[in-house]
Amino acid sequence: MAQETRGLSRRRLFTEASAAAGVFTIVSPQAVRGSQANSQISVGLIGSGNRGTYDARITHADPRARVTALCDLFPDRVEQAKAALKLEKVDEYTDYRQVLANRSLDAVIIATPPYQHPEQLAAAVAAGKHVYCEKPAAVDVAGCKSVIATGRKANPKKVISFGYQQRYGPVYLEAYKRIQAGAIGELSTARGYWIAADPFTRREYPGLSPEQEKLRNWFCYRDLSGDFIVEQDCHNFDVLHWFLGGLPLAAVGWGGRKVRTTMDLMDHLSLTYEWPNGIFVNFEANQLTPRGYAKVGEEFTGRKGTILTSRQRMIHVKGVKDEETMESPRDITYDGIEHFLGLVQSGQVENVAERSALSTMVAILGREALYTKKEQTWKGLYGA
């Protein structure tokens, strides 16, 4: 009886979330952008670090858009981004609110430390901008609920996208299509993994206050990054959320630190999630594997075969010595950003704030199971 009650409450939540997050609205390009349909989209970057600069380079190289404003609390970050984008003339800011007050901007990219995403997304939506926000949606339950609330009250003419690029990668779209069509039969189980080296390097910043130095090294701290299961592995959980057609009921697992002892983060973990319909999902990750080996992706097993997904390729195992491989032609970040720009230009509006927050909450559910070393349920952590 308890199992049925949990399933019913989760199905109700997922139905409501899907209804709010999966709607496309078609309006005229002029109404969406407030300018001529054939003019470039003016984009501001909030958070000019490595990831933000990478996103901005893709955006600025697209003939439909141009980056006209850069923002970061630290001026050297703005200078690095300006050099990388080869921008001679650009508006420069240290306060994101000044960017949002710039009426010449059609859209913003938010690529700041994850704990800032809910506040800045809400401000960008209130300012009437189209938004591409990097993942994760937040670092805690309150932040995810804030993102959901922001998405629900957003202008229906404005695009809200998140950096969950797998949703737009050709190999993932093909894998999802095959699973939905029954190519591997009834889904029995799934698993995910992100086994790789430590991507973080703590640096010293002479002259900065302790608070500023912590912010420059934000990835080292769980309160700023959400720990690596949220900051990085949320990609896997977004795929599981998508392919399994819903959200987990519970999670249990263990994790800790063996190598990376100078950061306020775990460096390895192992989890088991319970999904509806009796599907159990194993997830394993670490950031301690020596360089030279990495395994990142997901596996979906059905009664007739298995499909493996990653940013690089899809492998469809149909039987003994019978498999098909589809390679990804490029980094799927391009697909995500080009999709965003296409929506802004065309007037086909997508708002994925709620969906993205729910995917982030899957990671947070796992993190809380790891921290407490106890089973955590969705209902217990988030409510019915």
Is the pLDDT assigned to residue 302 strictly greater than 80? Answer: yes
Tokens, residue 188:
């029995």
Paired strand residues for 92: 70
CA-CA distance, 19 to 298, in Å (whole number)? Answer: 26
The larger pLDDT score, comparing residue 382 to residue 124, is at: 124
Q: What is the pLDDT of residues 370-383, one digit of tens each?
A: 999 999 999 999 88
Q: What is the pLDDT of residue 5?
A: 33
Question: In angstroms, what CA-CA distances link 33 with 24, 30, 106, 126?
Answer: 16, 5, 6, 15
Domain locations along the chain:
19-166+334-352, 167-329+364-382
Looking at beta carbons, which pairs linking 379-383 to residues 24 or more positions away fall under 8 Å? 379/6, 379/9, 379/10, 379/249, 381/141, 382/141
Range 115-127 average pLDDT? 98
Q: What is the pLDDT of residue 384?
A: 62
Amino acid (one-letter) located at 82: K
Percentage of the chain beyond pLDDT 70 is 90
Handedness of CA 72, 125, 120, 379 (dihedral sign): negative
CA-CA distance, 193 to 270, in Å (whole number)? Answer: 9
Q: What is the pLDDT of residue 167?
A: 98
Is the pLDDT assigned to residue 6 strictly greater than 60? Answer: no
Query: In the 8-state DSSP scheme, what is residue 267?
Result: S
Q: What is the pLDDT of residues 60-91, one digit of tens each?
A: 999 999 999 999 999 999 999 999 999 999 99
Tokens, residue 376:
């955590």
Q: What is the CA radius of gyration of the chain?
A: 21
Q: What is the pLDDT of residue 39?
A: 87
Q: What is the pLDDT of residues 260-289, one digit of tens each?
A: 998 999 999 999 999 999 999 999 999 999
The larger pLDDT score, comparing residue 5 to residue 53, is at: 53
Handedness of CA 287, 59, 107, 174 (dihedral sign): negative
CA-CA distance, 57 to 61, in Å (whole number)? Answer: 6
Burial of 118 (0-12, 13-18, 19+ CB in 10 A): buried
Residue 280 host element (H or E): strand 279-286
Query: In the 8-state DSSP scheme, what is residue 275?
Result: E
Q: In the predicted model, what is the mean pLDDT of the chain? A: 91
Residue 230 CA to its chain's centroid (Å): 9
Q: Nearest 5°: CA angle at 257, between 252 and 259?
A: 145
At the fourth CATH level, the homologous superfamily of domain 167-329+364-382 is Dihydrodipicolinate Reductase; domain 2 (3.30.360.10)
Nearest CA among 287, 274, 251 for reference residue 369: 251
CA-CA distance, 350 to 17, in Å (whole number)? Answer: 14
Helix (H, G, I), strand (E, B) or coil at 31: helix
CATH class of 19-166+334-352: alpha beta
CA-CA distance, 359 to 380, in Å (whole number)? Answer: 17
CA distance between the termini of the chain: 16
Is the pLDDT assigned to residue 12 strictly greater than 90? Answer: no
Paired strand residues for 286: 195, 268
